[in-house]
Structure 1
Amino acid sequence: MESLKGRDLLSLADLTVAELHSVLSLAIQLKSGMRKLQRRKVLGLMFSKASTRTRVSFSVAMYQLGGHIIDLNPSVTQVSRGEPLVDTARVLGRYLDAIAIRTFEQKDLETFASYAEIPVINALTDREHPCQVLADLMTVQECFNRMAGLTLTYLGDGANNMAHSLLLGCAMVGMNIRIATPSQYPPNPEIVEQAKAIAAGKTEVIITDDPAEAVQKSHVLYTDVWASMGQESEADDRIPLFMPFQVNDSLLAKADDDAIVLHCLPAHRDQEITDGVIEGVRSRVWDQAENRMHAQKALLASLLSDD
């Protein structure tokens, strides 16, 4: 993993296919106890959005690597008083060994990374959520003992960060990816084209507004909230439009007999997913959530390697 030392992760596409597989392999080894690594470094967490899993999983992962975290909540730093982002980036780059940033605009993340001479990790932006997809792919690998040749169907808001990162991640590991979304909410066309280029015709990259067709024989059904952070005012208006895309027993019955269900959480039960499905025998949501810690531990160990 020498090639990842000191690098940023702003998008899944920042990794090569080989590097992605290496991170996932290391995550599985760390989870099983086959490997134990120590990275006595300091990770900063700069989160402008609410977080449970991302904040706690990064914190525990860093602790288990023998390192420390510093919570850099923007509301208690000079960023909240108007200090230019580039100035903050220059200074924190001299104090910390790495920083994970959770913010709205991808361009702010990219600006920070261009001025901070330390690894910068995308802990979620409106455009992408790469660390979540590392955990998602790890969960699929654990469940099926493979990823290549499987089909993942994402149902819901095609314009959100999960749809974007799943498009890239699935294409990279040779999985078919179907995005089932109302026609008013298509994914970013640049990311769709990027995923198609990665897939190179070897796997499907399909965008559709037909949820029943999209889930046919799918191995993984995936959903997320219908209104992401910052879109709460639209939530009630979106419900009637998105209801046909709800992950429920009827849609699940059309998928592969061994299909699993994933949700990145938090979930609005009986909206994007029914309570029965998220608590059902096909759900792997809690394994998926646990794997955030293991996947991010592997990522941190790789970026902060002393080897």
Structure 2
Amino acid sequence: MISFYGKNFLKEYDFNKHQLETLIDLAEDLKTKEKHGIPHRFMSGKHIALIFEKQSTRTRSAFTVAAGKLGANVEYLNKNDMQLGAKESVEDTAKVLGTMFDGIAYRGFEQKTVEALGEHANIPVWNALTNEWHPTQMLADFLTIKEYLGTYHGKTVTFVGDGRNNVAHSLLITGAILGVNINIVAPESLQPTLSVQKLAKDLQHQSGSKSLITSDVEKGIKGSDVIYTDVWCSMGEEDALEERYNLLHPYQVNQALVDMTGKNTIFLHCLPAIHDTTTDVGQLAYEKFGVHGLEVTDDVFRSGYSKVFEQAENRMHTIKALLAATCGDVY
């Protein structure tokens, strides 16, 4: 039996293929238990801290609900509640919280912050998103692919859009670990950093998977089992909307693009999505560019092959597995 207890999850390659697959399988099992009302309170009496420097809907909700269903208590700490890095160092904060809590989730900007928490807290620390990586999202993504395609092994997942953001980087690395082919279709100026591409290549030697980084939409899309996209402006980049639109509008996921796959595919998006004009950003895009959606059209987003809300639900099930395995009594 794999021992996860006490381990950090700061980036995807903290865990090997067998460990990641064990977490995905455990999430599937816990999801089944929940659907059948089978108790699984593996964290009764435990306390976890959520340190969130960035806004969140799915991630905060998933950690809070997952911990509650496992029997743990949650304390939410936003950037205004603490002195993290301002009047108190990350190291000192980690040592203090590590004496009071049983685990810490961090969602913020710099990877070095979550790495420092992981080094000094002496309890499990989980990366709930940094500018560089989004590992808990990956667990949900590959569980969703497994549910709807039967397996992720040997499948081709194609990310379309801003290929140098945290989700694209995490997909590239996680696919390389799990043996999933990952295509990144993006303009040359928005392709994954060379260091991430090199790491993926090194990992692919072990798993046998392949990657394709290209600006050619048709070449990158053909044969894809999964089409995946994300917002064109990540948090803090909203001022770059016009620049990003000019670069990325040829990479919008619409029905014509999906048809290029030449096969039945599923659509994924980590959300939130700008797919209509019902949001402030969607309305601004309509006023500036005359479009009714940005990275994805509404018909694709609402289609039968779109699994975005099932993917969102799986954030909770996979985070529950992560918490239970690293901080609970499941193993």
State whether structure 2 residue 40 is matched by structure 1 residue 37.
yes
- Calculate percent identity across the aligned residue pairs: 42
CA distance in 2, matches of 1:256, 1:142: 21
State whether structure 2 residue 7 is matched by structure 1 residue 7.
yes
Give the aligned partner of residue 278 of structure 2: none
Give the aligned partner of residue 272 of structure 2: 266
Give the aligned partner of residue 237 of structure 1: 243
Structure 2, unaligned runs of 5 or more: 276-292
State whether structure 2 residue 325 is matched by structure 1 residue 302.
yes
Give, in angstroms, the shift of residue 81 of structure 1: 5.1
Amino acid at match of 1:296: I
Amino acid at match of 2:240: E
Give the aligned partner of residue 129 of structure 1: 134
CA distance in 2, matches of 1:261, 1:130: 19
Matches within 5 A, 1:1-307: 2-33=2-33, 36-38=39-41, 39-40=43-44, 41-79=46-84, 82-200=87-205, 202-269=208-275, 270-306=293-329, 307=331
Give, in angstroms, the shift of residue 36 of structure 1: 4.3
TM-score (norm 2): 0.90
Give, in angstroms, the shift of residue 82 of structure 1: 2.1
- 8 Å Cα contact 2:175/2:209 also seen in 1: no
SS of 2:190's partner is: coil
TM-score (norm 1): 0.97
Give, in angstroms, the shift of residue 186 of structure 1: 1.7
CA distance in 2, matches of 1:129, 1:81: 24
Give, in angstroms, the shift of residue 52 of structure 1: 0.3
Structure 1, unaligned runs of 5 or more: none
Give, in angstroms, the shift of residue 176 of structure 1: 0.6
Amino acid at match of 2:135: P
Give, in angstroms, the shift of residue 16 of structure 1: 1.1
Give, in angstroms, the shift of residue 20 of structure 1: 0.6
CA distance in 1, matches of 2:126, 2:193: 21
Give, in angstroms, the shift of residue 79 of structure 1: 2.7
SS of 2:84's partner is: helix
Amino acid at match of 1:213: K
CA distance in 1, matches of 2:266, 2:308: 9
